[in-house]
A and B are shown apart, each in its own frame.
Chain A
Amino acid sequence: NAGVTQTPKFQVLKTGQSMTLQCAQDMNHEYMSWYRQDPGMGLRLIHYSVGAGITDQGEVPNGYNVSRSTTEDFPLRLLSAAPSQTSVYFCASSYSSGRGNTEAFFGQGTRLTVV
């Protein structure tokens, strides 16, 4: 059971480049989310999804795009990378609140540097 898998683990981008951070889970969880973690700021929610075809914005969505075409995958797209997007990105998944046990599981993170 792989849990939540994020790729790549490390990435360096130039300002203005675009890229996609991948997140996949094999637990059949409806709910998936993306966070960024910055020193002194804690984890902040970027986007989340309550099921295939349904996404919504979190606290810091600007500059990021998401889609959810399958239950398993929830990619995060950086449209035009900026140095302010240098951060560690975490993907999480859980069952939705209607399923009772909503324990969240996190991936190992993607460390992104924008130069």
Chain B
Amino acid sequence: KQEVTQIPAALSVPEGENLVLNCSFTDSAIYNLQWFRQDPGKGLTSLLLIQSSQREQTSGRLNASLDKSSGRSTLYIAASQPGDSATYLCAPRGQAGTALIFGKGTTLSVSS
């Protein structure tokens, strides 16, 4: 059974810092991995999708990497802003089925 761990559970940083959110998963046989953002009381917004054959994916100030063999993905946020404050979730998709399995997320707070 796939298990997903996200570290740290919470993170507070001043505006302008570069930061890294970590995601590890126990079953490396994944089809792809998706990073989401969730604002309080809202739904999930897709940030980046990395296919299992890819090593990196970039969108603006966000860069996600994937090391499938070691069961790790990282989300790098450059020059953080208060608007980046949210909970970030990673979710690998397994080979056998098509279900996303979620970690519990990292709650980020960026102060101005």
Contacts and interface: CB of A to CB of B under 8 A. Distances in A.
Interface string A14-42: 00000000000000000101010000111
Most buried by B among A43, A44, A48, A92: A43
A103 B98 CA distance: 11
Contacts of B76: none
Contact of A101 (B36, B49, B103, B104): B49
A92 B45 CA distance: 11
Interface residues of B, number: 22
Nearest to B101: A45
B89 interface: yes
A58 B99 contact: yes
Interface of A: 31, 33, 35, 40-45, 48, 50, 58, 90, 92, 94, 96-97, 101-109
